Structure 1
């Protein structure tokens, strides 16, 4: 008879090496090892197998507690094991409101970055070292920062293909480009202490307006500035036509005559050869703004005025536009050779060159220009409708003109169509364009050499969005249209603008949408491609910081360019000090070049 120890040893050995058939033989034999032989399963032996399995199960039932108990006693350690302390892993902190805003809105990141890192982005033609003064590239395909302006906010900025002009926060004039200095085209302060507020540029001169209403005309080229400074006399300004340099300063003063009490110039605009000045009393003055050519296409708005019959005195003396007397003018605009004026009643007057229909009238081969301010018949554009139009904004540049209209719904005068009471008084906002469209600058989806009448820019008309503050649909207006020589930009005025007060400080920030169209021969549209575009399109966000590039979505549909609206921010200075300042981003379109800059 085998002892219990022998049974346990045999059980362990069998458990390690036995096959299923050997387990059956072992259990049925009462635990005695059996010779290995093939197992033949016959129908008559099925009952015996079941009986054997039952006996083996009963034995295992009786024996297993003893085996388990013995195994437990064998594994008891001689000394107590020290318990291991497991520290709880730190819980994931909930995202802050700011982190959530950055995830929700890629535009929020753009606006925040523009507030924290003010500066100037430029792209387009670089043959004049304007878009990238330190680069030898002929064209800058996508927005790139100009290092000189990093951390700066400007009062104004104007760009041409060969030179750039800016007014810094102190009111000093900054110039750069090969048109300014071919040997050293980097930015340089050229006029200090005049507290300048705005600038406009002509073919070869800069027209600057100070905060106190003084208007200055400064040569673009640094060599011309040096020549004027070294002249002996100081009575009158220098003119290339008189051949007599008579001024010790490198600028000229343009002062309209017969200004009223406390009346001063509040706005300036300039074409290639002329400039317009708007006074605080709503009067308009015009003057020559170039030393190369005297305005001769009617753009001064003074009938019959030419170089030959100009009044005695400086060639660039301001002339009041007499045809506008009695009208309270609130806006002025200039193209290369034409002018636009808008009064406070919503009426447009245009004068100057009309060879491609930029004045809004059908071109006449016998009369290529109009030298008297002429009222543009906007009402005819809405003839046969129940809309009453009023012009709210004007813009011009190159060979093009633009204006926006608020058209109010009223009952039809004929009574043939009854307007529902809920529709009466609603405003439809529309944008119109005229002039040349050969590069697509009209934005109408067509390529036209000449405009016979203004055309509606459908992509910028009849736009609405939901205003959460008033729980109504509000029309989306055009905040600004900036017109270059062959391309155009429109900035939309949305209800997300923080100046409307519809968005809290902790809510996601949204900027103003920006759309470009027109000529793109030097990549001035910022699309990264060179094809012209005849309808307004979005472009990608500004190049900017690599950190911002990683945080912004790469899809253009979500990550479209939006410029920051005006807001009060803490600006960190180079000394590490912070100061509060109101800042916004603006867009500039020049001759084959574009820019976005931080403005005070």
Structure 2
């Protein structure tokens, strides 16, 4: 049974805890007087959630209804009394905003993310990606990349030897030694294409324009300036000018009327293209090796059997034609596709079990999409699963599932107390030797999907709906051997100068796990971590030290999307902004997303 202890004060002070488990997931939201002692001086530095609740615990167990249990601890001052005690002792010389900073480390993180948008990176720096201006071989903890200070980005992707990003106005930025050994610092390359998303292969960049055009650009700056270039035609005249960057376009031949490319994904050698009508095309995305592990989903397609035409011509995956695909994902050598009905199709390399079924040595890869049956994972549980999202990276695959409680064949629906309740689960498969499965186990290969218990079966109280709701994953980013999950927990971004000083902002929890040989997890240590774990704030806790909290340890939270005026004191332009996390090949970044 998972015990959840939680407090909700009027002004956004929240806490819940999952104790007594090796897979414990602890959330500490901003607390209203967590560092103050009671009036009799006998209270501990941190009041427990059970005490703040006045002796109530919320118990949530998989397959069981919500129950309230009395705590076996002595009741402390009630929450209202806690507010009074705090008001008596808090400094009066500070502004409301400063008081919020003192109360909440998370509020300070949100505030700084709006005032100082930009990119933090850490991990391997052998290719001058995490810190382009430094010769350090590794960056152990989050460090800002000065070039991006004050900038909002549409997307970012990271390899050990090169990084790429899309600026707010849709231009491509590149950096790293694979881009230029002589000058690996960030520079704009492909401009004027209104790019919205970017993916990377071994040696090329796959970028999607807002109009559905897909560009394939060499990583190396020298290759971009050599060879025959396309011409850019002006829409208001008959003249054209040569492009400054050499690129190719990936053009499916048989798109229907009004059909366009709306999403892309790429592995080391292959790319997937998703159309607005739910069709999927695949193409070679690298010039060094033609896909040969079935990851394109075209049976029998090899370099020798490819049809006449460009080597990277997109081919429709015919076996998916009868399904409306809504999400695609690509690992190094495997592919995933999710349709509107929650069915997952997998194909490509399966030598580590990354396709979700047992490895068969005589069949190391599957060259045509096959469905992955998740119903078997919930057999006998009384739950009906529906896959809601997919992610892939390296030799790993991840799936998030909404499991709905239904009445079994021998159950009376009227007697099932939690009928219709949704439990949000996260599953992983593939190579776990670096801990990248997040299950707490070190395994070379998977026999099938395994549940990440730390990210599954979580609930919280939503004050807006006055009900218990499942905590889902907002996003999962998978790198080559590490990953990060941003939780879709209740957040707050409405604190203002007119609200109470105890009304604070806080963001979404983000947890990291997997390989850490290049410090890509951001923990400051080199140990691989097989369980999802928090890291410290991006500023290294400097904000806490400034406010006199040197003895406390707070965690990093992602600031959710909101519309604000960026810049010091909210004096800049009005934008819609959010923080995002991106795991790459031994490198990690957090950036301000447009």
Q: TM-score range by the shorter chain?
A: 0.7 to 0.9
1:103 CA displacement: 2.7
Distance 1:312 1:407, change over 3 A: same
Distance 1:248 1:571, change over 3 A: closer
Q: Which runs of 5+ in 1 are unaligned?
A: 1-91, 236-245
Show the counterpart of 2:557.
Answer: 562
Is the counterpart of residue 322 in structure 1 residue 318 in structure 2? Answer: yes
Show the counterpart of 2:433.
Answer: 438
1:296 CA displacement: 0.6
Q: Could you tell me whether the CA contact under 8 Å between 1:106 and 1:553 is conserved in 2?
A: no
Name the SS of the counterpart of 1:191 in structure 2.
coil
Show the counterpart of 1:454.
Answer: 449
Distance 1:149 1:234, change over 3 A: closer
Deviations 1:512-545 (A, max 9, x none): 1010000100100000000101000000000279
Is the counterpart of residue 157 in structure 1 residue 156 in structure 2? Answer: yes
469, 477, 480: which one aligns with 1:482 = 477
Aligned residue runs from structure 1 range 49-64, under 5 A: none
Show the counterpart of 1:271.
Answer: 267
Deviations 1:341-372 (A, max 9, x none): 00110110000000010000111100000011
Show the counterpart of 1:300.
Answer: 296
**Structure 2 CA distance, aligned partners of 1:270 and 1:282?**
17
Q: TM-score, normalised by structure 2?
A: 0.79
Name the SS of the counterpart of 1:263 in structure 2.
coil
Is the counterpart of residue 517 in structure 1 residue 502 in structure 2? Answer: no
1:412 CA displacement: 1.7
The alignment's C-alpha RMSD in Å is 2.4
Deviations 1:208-248 (A, max 9, x none): 001111000000001111222xx48989xxxxxxxxxx999
Name the SS of the counterpart of 2:303 in structure 1.
coil
Is the counterpart of residue 355 in structure 1 residue 315 in structure 2? Answer: no
567, 570, 591: which one aligns with 1:572 = 567
Show the counterpart of 1:134.
Answer: 133
Is the counterpart of residue 539 in structure 1 residue 538 in structure 2? Answer: no
Aligned residue runs from structure 1 range 70-89, under 5 A: none
Deviations 1:166-186 (A, max 9, x none): 001111100000010001000
Show the counterpart of 1:468.
Answer: 463
Show the counterpart of 2:338.
Answer: 342
Name the SS of the counterpart of 2:555 in structure 1.
coil
Q: Which runs of 5+ in 2 are unaligned?
A: 1-90, 233-241
**Structure 1 CA distance, aligned partners of 2:165 and 2:136?**
22
Q: Could you tell me whether the CA contact under 8 Å between 2:353 and 2:429 is conserved in 1?
A: yes
Distance 1:464 1:588, change over 3 A: same
Show the counterpart of 1:596.
Answer: 590
Q: Could you tell me whether the CA contact under 8 Å between 1:271 and 1:337 is conserved in 2?
A: yes
Show the counterpart of 2:67.
Answer: none
302, 327, 330: which one aligns with 1:331 = 327
The count of aligned residue pairs is: 491
Name the SS of the counterpart of 2:573 in structure 1.
strand
Show the counterpart of 1:221.
Answer: 220
Aligned residue runs from structure 1 range 109-258, under 5 A: 109-228=108-227, 231=228, 250-258=246-254
More helix by share: 1
Deviations 1:294-352 (A, max 9, x none): 00100001111000010110000001111101111110000000000001101100000
Structure (1 or 2) with the larger CA radius of gyration: 1
Aligned residue runs from structure 1 range 278-297, under 5 A: 278-297=274-293
Distance 1:552 1:464, change over 3 A: farther
Q: Could you tell me whether the CA contact under 8 Å between 2:388 and 2:402 is conserved in 1?
A: yes
Deviations 1:45-71 (A, max 9, x none): xxxxxxxxxxxxxxxxxxxxxxxxxxx
371, 378, 381: which one aligns with 1:385 = 381
1:420 CA displacement: 3.7
